[in-house]
Amino acid sequence: MKRLAARALACALALSATFATVPLSAADATDRPPERAAATHVGGGRIPGHFVGLSIEWSLVERYMNPSGRPAFVNLLRNLRTGVLRIGGSSQDQMPFDATAPNTNRVITPEDLAYIRATLDEAGDADGRGKPRWGAVLGTAMSPPGDTRPWVGPQHAKSFVTEGVEPAFRGKGAKQIVGIELGNEPDLSYGSNLDRYLGDLATYADPAVTGPFPVIAPNTSEDILPWTTLADPTAATRYFHDWPRVLNTGAPYMRPRAAEFGAYASDHFYPLARTCVNKPYRCPSTTALLSDEHLASLDYEVYTHGTEAARHGLGYRLEETSTAANRGADGVSNVAASATYALSAMFHTACPQPPDRPGANTACTTGAQGLNFHNAEVRAFFSPEEGNAYYNAVDYDPTEAMGSPTAAPLYYAMLLFARFAQDTDGLRPAHVTTDGERKPEAWQVRAKGREHRLFVINKADRPTTVTVPVQGTTATVDRMTPYDPDGNRTLDAPQVRIDGRQVAADGNWPGFRPGIVRVSGHRTTLTLAAGEAAVVTSASRP
């Protein structure tokens, strides 16, 4: 094992010695202004196409995209119209790529990449110019090598690109590559050794390793903390306050290789965790999940890092998130409250409202270009037969048949957002009046064809009646509602429906069935059940 580690290190050093001069080394990564700071992030109230996304571990490619499961999975993607698949996570730092190995869920092979390419091909094109409906982020290992992972190094990353990605995505498939993601959560894998991480980032991001494809970094995570702690530069917040140095190193490599999906910096966020010993802020419950304080932490992170990315001429994407870290929490992440939270989180990611600067972003000039909800095994990698992580938006088949994936509660939030908010403009926080103790959250967007859409989200544990503005003289309403076959539960209901409908077993969505609402004086009144959300659609005023 030691000989293998030494040989891997020698290969890495030899490869590094052949590189062209690095534009900005770790030693140069200070807080000085970047070379160019033109904002390329999405702002001004625009929610782009491809906003929604799924993050899937490499160890589950076979479960979601094998020939048996793929047709239903493709249908689930097509229901969302456009988006981004992130293939990676912690598994990308634990699973080697081997071009000659038999295909198993412990190794990344050309067959895995062929499954991904086939899935994207079947999802189709979003327009007549060949732009893909779905693109893929492909993660490769970048972490300090060790006794159990002597293969980690620049040569491994280069092999992944040249022997895996390039052959699988030749031709028009190159457009489907959102980027090569370098490592996962370096704040954990590198720990306090930020300089070593920055040196590796410069090495791996060089085209001599990752070729012509866009590169995605830093893929950082943060401890689950109140925003006031995140804002404290003296607090232990991993790499949160080091983003200027990190992007000073990465941005010069990332900007010139922007492709179909642009160049962006990425981040992770979780509001809660499955475990919370001696850390009550982390403890999972439906009440905590839907609380304003946890969304304030999301707002602070997205606004801070989205602004920093724009300063470096990059977009920003929340590339891994869900309801609770450590694969979710039973009774919280797999019930209706997860859909209520996810719908709210997508709006807060598109238009964060920084808690330390009230009103600073009401015009939604700063925001992310998208987010990916994470999907994994319930306990550990390489044990898919034990079942799905509690937070999965799409559940895979854990049996040997590896059949059709199915929609979980959180998927319905993605569906409602994708079909009514994605690819719109005019995003703004909106105001409604209520008879309840807790005011529902509201957002407005403007769609093509002069449609005005108002989203109202009841995050309370009881029904509420709201009066909402309507721009036209008539309006329709689509509802995302908790569903319990026994009729006894709301926020912890095991299922979700939209307009009383559910996704079919083959992944097909039967279509929306909106109701008609009465409009008087450009207003209408709605009663929302606990955890229910509604989209009111009317014609915009001339």
Count up the domains in the chain and report the number: 2
Residue 542 pLDDT:
57
Reported confidence tier of residue 292, pLDDT bands at 50, 70, 90 = very high
Reported confidence tier of residue 22, pLDDT bands at 50, 70, 90 = very low
Tens digits of residue pLDDT in 443-488: 999 998 789 999 999 999 999 999 999 988 889 999 999 999 999 8
Instruction: Give the closest residue to 495 by CA, choosing from 416, 411, 415, 387.
Output: 411
Reported confidence tier of residue 147, pLDDT bands at 50, 70, 90 = very high
Residue 176 pLDDT:
97
Say yes or no: 474 and 333 in one domain.
no
- Residue 492 located in a structural domain: yes
pLDDT tops 60 at residue 21? no
Say yes or no: 414 and 450 in one domain.
no
- Residue 2 located in a structural domain: no
pLDDT tops 90 at residue 231? yes
Tens digits of residue pLDDT in 40-65: 334 479 999 999 999 999 999 999 99
Say yes or no: 412 and 440 in one domain.
no
Show which of 410, 425, 440 is a domain's final residue.
425
Residue 320 pLDDT:
98
What's the CA gap between 124 and 308, in Å, rounded?
34
- Which residues neighbour 253 within 8 Å (Cβ) at sequence distance 6 or greater? 23, 202, 205, 206, 207, 215
Instruction: Give the closest residue to 442 by CA, choosing from 419, 466, 462.
Output: 466
- SS3 (DSSP) at 414: helix
Using alpha carbons only, what angle is made at residue 363 by residues 360 and 364, rounded to the nearest 5 degrees? 90
By mean pLDDT, which of 286-290, 371-375, 392-396, 520-524 is the weakest? 520-524
Helix or strand run (H / E) with residue 54: strand 53-56
By mean pLDDT, which of 29-33, 245-249, 336-340, 357-361 is the weakest? 29-33
Residue 473 pLDDT:
85
Question: Of 93 and 11, which is predicted with more confidence?
Answer: 93
Tens digits of residue pLDDT in 306-325: 999 999 999 999 999 999 99
Show which of 425, 443, 459 is a domain's final residue.
425
Residue type at 78 in one-letter notation: R
Average pLDDT over residues 192-201: 98
Contacts 24+ apart (CB under 8 A), 151-155: 151/4, 151/8, 151/96, 152/8, 152/93, 153/8, 153/9, 153/11, 153/12, 153/15, 154/11, 154/12, 154/15, 154/16, 154/203, 154/204, 154/209, 155/8, 155/11, 155/12, 155/15
Tens digits of residue pLDDT in 408-433: 999 999 999 999 999 999 999 999 99
What's the CA gap between 348 and 301, in Å, rounded?
11
Q: Give the CATH number, domain containing residue 118.
A: 3.20.20.80
pLDDT tops 90 at residue 17? no
Residue 448 pLDDT:
84
Q: Give the CATH number, domain containing residue 502.
A: 2.60.40.1180
Average pLDDT over residues 24-47: 45
Average pLDDT over residues 395-410: 98
Q: What is the DSSP letter of 234?
A: T
Q: Tell the burial category of 128 from Cβ atoms under 10 Å away from its Cβ (0-12, 13-18, 19+).
A: exposed
Say yes or no: 135 and 161 in one domain.
yes
Residue 9 pLDDT:
37
Average pLDDT over the chain reads: 91
- Residue 93 located in a structural domain: yes
Residue 436 pLDDT:
78
Instruction: Give the closest residue to 458 by CA, choosing from 435, 476, 474, 475.
Output: 435
- Residue 124 located in a structural domain: yes
Reported confidence tier of residue 28, pLDDT bands at 50, 70, 90 = very low
Above pLDDT 70, what percent of the chain? 91
Cα 246 from chain centre: 20
Average pLDDT over residues 26-45: 41
Residue 130 pLDDT:
76
What's the CA gap between 89 and 120, in Å, rounded?
19
Domain span at residue 150 reads 40-425
Say yes or no: 226 and 308 in one domain.
yes
- Residue 251 located in a structural domain: yes
pLDDT tops 50 at residue 20? no
Strand 464-469 and strand 523-528: pairing?
antiparallel
Average pLDDT over residues 75-90: 98
Say yes or no: 444 and 358 in one domain.
no
Say yes or no: 171 and 234 in one domain.
yes
- Residue 13 located in a structural domain: no
Say yes or no: 374 and 399 in one domain.
yes
Say yes or no: 132 and 231 in one domain.
yes
Tens digits of residue pLDDT in 249-281: 999 999 999 999 999 999 999 999 999 999 999
Say yes or no: 295 and 443 in one domain.
no
- Residue 474 located in a structural domain: yes
Say yes or no: 449 and 394 in one domain.
no
Residue 449 pLDDT:
77
pTM: 0.92
Show which of 396, 425, 454 is a domain's final residue.
425
Say yes or no: 345 and 438 in one domain.
no
Tens digits of residue pLDDT in 357-392: 999 999 999 999 999 999 999 999 999 999 999 999
- Residue 344 located in a structural domain: yes
